[in-house]
Amino acid sequence: MGQGAGARNCVTILGVPIDQVSMDQALNRIENFIQEGGTHLVVTADANGIIIAQQDEGFRNLISQADLATPDGAGVLWAAKRKGSSIKERVSGVDIVEKVCALSAQKGYRIYFLGAEPGIAELAGQKLTEKYPGCNIVGTHHGYFKAEDELKIAQAIAAAQPDVLFVALGMPRQERFIQSTRPIIQAKVAVGVGGSFDVFSGKTKRAPKVMQAIHLEWMWRLLLNPSKFAKVKNLPKFAIKVLGDRS
């Protein structure tokens, strides 16, 4: 898949290549992918994703071969800075969804939402269309399907002919779905976006701006949803590994 990390301008964090892009540069790349044709994979890589990739060679290869892996989260920015990178801002799945919807309203890009609990992707699409009138959501499907339904869902996505497919199944399942259905879905860009539809539907509230600004969004999520502990406990693990990394 894709041109791979070799042709990208990446900083390597714990063996995982992350593109040194700002939000605007990431959006430019996504718009170029739409023009190019073919299917491109975009990974929004947070500290948790990097820990998963470190422990799982298949997932690490998938990120290395992606077309774009964006720096998502304060932990990744901090680790990148330690390596002398000039990455300045996080490029998260939630922000990409919102900006691509805004672009869709101007340029007509066709967008498909796959993932989250039944009704949530649809509601997220409605809310975003209210905010960005003309935003072109061409299909939605929830993310609680059986493995044997994967082909049927991929075919439904292909029939909707999306330019951009957002997949919110959690990491690494969303990226694996994109990889395995890539020959079928025909979306020009497919992006794994974690819990984004929950945010836009109003199911989960984003942290107050002040908490985001001081990089404590993870704490907010944990307070609202203690089942996220497994994910949050990867954060100190990430920090310890980065501090011990001499590569």
Nearest to 94 by CA among 204, 16, 245, 223: 204
In the complex with ligand UDP, the residue whose CB is nearer, 34 or 123, is: 123
- Cis peptide bond upstream of 172, omega within 30: yes
Q: Single out the residue of 197, 200, 218, 238 in contact with ligand UDP (rule: CB under 6 A).
A: 197
Closer by beta carbon to ligand UDP, 107 or else 233: 233
231 binds ligand UDP (CB under 6 A): yes
Decide: is 33 part of the binding site for ligand UDP (CB under 6 A).
Answer: no
Q: Which one among 17, 115, 125, 139 touches ligand UDP, defined by CB under 6 A?
A: 115
CB atoms near residue 125 (< 10 Å): 23
CB 19 to ligand UDP: min, Å: 18
**CB-based burial of residue 222 (10 Å sphere; 0-12 exposed, 13-18 middle, 19+ buried)?**
middle
- Per-residue x/- mask for ligand UDP, residues 57 to 96, rule CB under 6 A? ----------------------------------------
CA distances from 211 to 48, 84, 208, 216, 220 (A): 19, 26, 5, 5, 8
Q: Is residue 84 a contact partner of residue 10, using CB atoms and an 8 Å limit?
A: no
Segment near ligand UDP (CB under 6 A); pick from 6-14, 111-119, 176-184, 235-243: 111-119
Q: Is 125 in the site for ligand UDP (CB under 6 A)?
A: no
Q: Smallest gap, in angstroms, from Cβ of residue 227 to ligand UDP? A: 9
Residues of 46-81 as b/e, b for ≥16 C-beta within 10 angstroms? bbbbbbbbbeeeebbebbbbbbbbbbbbbbbbebbe
By CB under 6 A, tell whether 194 contacts ligand UDP: yes
| Residue given tokens 């939630």 in the structure block | 94
Contact between 188 and ligand UDP (CB under 6 A)? no
42 binds ligand UDP (CB under 6 A): no
Residues in touch with ligand UDP (CB under 6 A): 115-117, 143-144, 168-171, 194-195, 197-198, 231
